[in-house]
Amino acid sequence: MSVLVYTEHTEGKFKKSAYEVVSYAKAIADLMSTTVTAVSIGNVDSAELAALGNYGASRVLHVSSEQLTQFVNQAYASVIAAAAEHTQADVVVISNTFSGKGLAPRVAAKLDAALADGAVELPEVDGNTLKVKKTAFSGKAFAVTELTAPKKVVALNPNAFEVRETGGSAEVDAFTPDIPTDDLQVVIQDIVRATDKVTLPDAEIVVSAGRGLKGPENWGMIEELADALGAATACSKPVSDAGWRPHSEHVGQTGIAVSPNLYIAIGISGAIQHLAGVSASKTIVVINKDPDAPFFKVADYGIVGDAFEVVPKLTAAIKAYKGN
């Protein structure tokens, strides 16, 4: 009986979501009185791998292969499933990131495991059953799912569980599973970044704007605020539909679901389809000139005012604060 956790990295550095899942896996392992093994795929140096011990992994399996330098969904899923079999893991934990959303169901199918994706809390362990609270209906509700199959896959939403440092260290072992050739029919040759800025799904802070901005020519102040905060920019659906902003920035039920620490919504009404993709944010700040805008109902902080007056003042105040 053990817990396996897949740790995702970008160019050899683990993401915060990787430390979250290791901490989460350790908390589950403690409830089951067992240990955590992490599996990492691709080029990561041994110090970075061993440091996963500080978050609760007692062992790290490192899969380093030319064929797996870039993320390949099918092949990575096969490797994680092979690692689960190798370690006789009963529970596999994956972060519910963009890649994790593709991996978790594939890993569950390969292991004939029960799956709970979008987990938001530590599960209850009751004998062989895990009770997992997870988001449902595109984030509009929560469901408690009971996983009763002998093997279980849990995909944890980013930002839903805190990083816990344990002070431990992990032993790192090379792991070389067979990779089915069928898994490598689509291979990424190269990745060309469209921007050096922080990407939306990984952002800790998101500055998002809607139709209240009137037109694409007014996005300069949104970008300036985002730059001052080190944030990613996002938008509502009608904004990207109108071509004011790229579709990659569209958040909501039919766009990207985000769960940053801080989501600032400017000139967005707060329609249920928009909220579906942003309501998991830790803190929501709303700037809207209409005091009855539905977004205020879910806001932690609200500013009733004209975005064209409020945003430049906010940016100036943040720059002044950072300057000091």
Question: Residue 222 Cβ, how far from ligand FAD at the closest point, in Å?
Answer: 12
Distant-in-sequence, close-in-space partners of 224: CB < 8 Å, separation ≥ 6: 312, 315
Distances (CA, A) of 91 to 115, 178, 199, 265: 10, 22, 30, 37
Question: Residue 247 Cβ, how far from ligand FAD at the closest point, in Å?
Answer: 11
Residue 119's beta-bridge partner residues? 134, 156
Q: Toward ligand FAD, which CB reaches closer, 35 or 273?
A: 273
Q: Toward ligand FAD, which CB reaches closer, 242 or 316?
A: 242
The DSSP secondary-structure symbol of 129 reads: E
Q: Toward ligand FAD, which CB reaches closer, 93 or 268?
A: 268
Question: Residue 158 Cβ, how far from ligand FAD at the closest point, in Å?
Answer: 18
Q: Toward ligand FAD, which CB reaches closer, 183 or 249?
A: 249
Q: Do the Cβ atoms of 184 and 241 come closer than 8 Å? A: no
Distances (CA, A) of 171 to 59, 60, 166, 277: 5, 6, 15, 38
Identify residue 153 by its one-letter amino acid code. V
Q: Toward ligand FAD, which CB reaches closer, 157 or 236?
A: 236
Question: Residue 194 Cβ, how far from ligand FAD at the closest point, in Å?
Answer: 21
Question: Residue 284 Cβ, how far from ligand FAD at the closest point, in Å?
Answer: 14
Distance CA 229, CA 10 (A): 22
Q: Toward ligand FAD, which CB reaches closer, 71 or 308?
A: 308
Identify residue 150 by its one-letter amino acid code. P
Residue 40's beta-bridge partner residues? 62
Distant-in-sequence, close-in-space partners of 69: CB < 8 Å, separation ≥ 6: 42, 43
Strands 129-136 and 59-63: unpaired
CA atoms within 13 A on the CB side of 148: 2
Question: Residue 94 Cβ, how far from ligand FAD at the closest point, in Å?
Answer: 24
Question: Residue 173 Cβ, how far from ligand FAD at the closest point, in Å?
Answer: 43
Residue 265's beta-bridge partner residues? 208, 286
Q: Toward ligand FAD, which CB reaches closer, 75 or 275?
A: 275
Q: How crowded is residue 212: how many other Cβ atoms within 10 Å of its Cβ?
A: 21
Distance CA 317, CA 162 (A): 29
Residue 62's beta-bridge partner residues? 40, 174
Instruction: Please report, as ranges, the residues that interact with ligand FAD according to CB under 6 A.
Output: 210-212, 236-239, 252-255, 267-269, 271, 273-274, 277, 287-290, 293, 306-308
Question: Residue 232 Cβ, how far from ligand FAD at the closest point, in Å?
Answer: 16
Q: Toward ligand FAD, which CB reaches closer, 168 or 305?
A: 305
Identify residue 146 by its one-letter amino acid code. E
Q: Toward ligand FAD, which CB reaches closer, 104 or 293?
A: 293
Distance CA 252, CA 260 (A): 13
Question: Residue 101 Cβ, how far from ligand FAD at the closest point, in Å?
Answer: 16
Task: Look at residue 213 and give its three-state secondary structure.
Answer: helix
